[in-house]
Amino acid sequence: MSRARRAGSRDLAVAGHINVDRMLRIPRFPGPDRTVAIASSSVELGGTAANLARVAAQGGASVGLLSRLGDGFPSEFRTRLKREGIDLGGVRTIRGRLTPTCYVVEDAHGAQRTLIDQGPMEVGGSFAVPRAWLRRYAWLHVSTGPPDFQLRLAEVARADGLRVAADPAQEIFYRWSAPQVRRLLGWSEILFGNGPEIERAREMAGRGSVRALTEIVPCVIRTEGAHGVTVFSRTGVSHFPAPRPASVRSFVGAGDAFRGGFYAAFFSGEPLDRSVVAGQRAAGRWIEGVR
């Protein structure tokens, strides 16, 4: 698996969500027709692509975002992304639609319930691939978003010599069809996902085991929460135990932070195993609230 970049290229373009996260923290989830008090609430910059890009950029990678925003995206969030050195040349604002917004409820044990207004990320048929912008990058990370557009993006990226990583996240359960997943994996060198997401990818790809997925995509990185990370490749399987965070602020976005930390190390020249460990450290800091 090569990290080699073309002469003059930047590291990583990330295609996915930039969200406004409206966070509600509660002691426990109520039963039907019951009520609990809110312990705290906040409005935060979030989204799979934004979280990943921010952590990768903080670690020294050159990163760009490809996404769609709508009305109501706070100007201070855009300023923050620019200040952190993230290229927003692939971000477009679609007027007349609410910007992508997540309503996240998290209990004291880290369990989550999430509702999303996709806004302009709901459908991608009219999205144009910013080909000239994309050519500036060595790798494309395909995260959440309209599958038809994400597939067009991956196809163009491969045709233009970029490497591709697949990471449809929770949307693999309700937005992606099996033929679409197989196409994405066929263009990818890395597949990221948690346990249920990787299992879903395995089923949709028609493989009998996770290891057999590497017949299609050379490297599968499965995050397992407190149990660590397992990496499947064509040469073997490696497991990395999870470090214990010193404190817990929130688990929301920790998986994105892992990916960002992984890429920061990967593009600095670290081998795969050290990149995984760097990703775990980044996820731990995120859980602790060190942003």
Residue 151 is part of a domain; what is its CATH number?
A: 3.40.1190.20
* pLDDT, position 1: 58
Token pair in block for residue 22: 């409206």
For residue 64, is pLDDT > 80? yes
Whether 3 is in a domain gets the answer no
Say if 1 falls within a structural domain. no
pLDDT of res. 202: 98
CA gap 37, 25 in Å, rounded: 9
3-state secondary structure of 118: coil
pLDDT single digits (tens) 242-266? 998 888 888 888 999 999 999 999 9
Number of domains in the chain: 1
Q: Which domain holds residue 197?
A: 10-19+46-96+121-288
Does 110 fall in a domain? no
- pTM comes to 0.92
Q: Report which DSSP code applies to 243.
A: P
The token pair at 54 is 């921010």
pLDDT digits (tens, 9 = 90+) for 80-137: 999 999 999 999 999 999 999 999 999 998 888 999 999 999 986 678 899 999 999 9
Mean pLDDT of the chain: 94
Q: Does any domain span residue 188?
A: yes
Is 41 inside a domain boundary?
no
Residue 8's pLDDT band, with cuts at 50, 70 and 90, is low
What pLDDT score does 247 carry?
87
**pLDDT, tens digit, 9 for 90 and up, residues 265-276:** 999 999 999 999
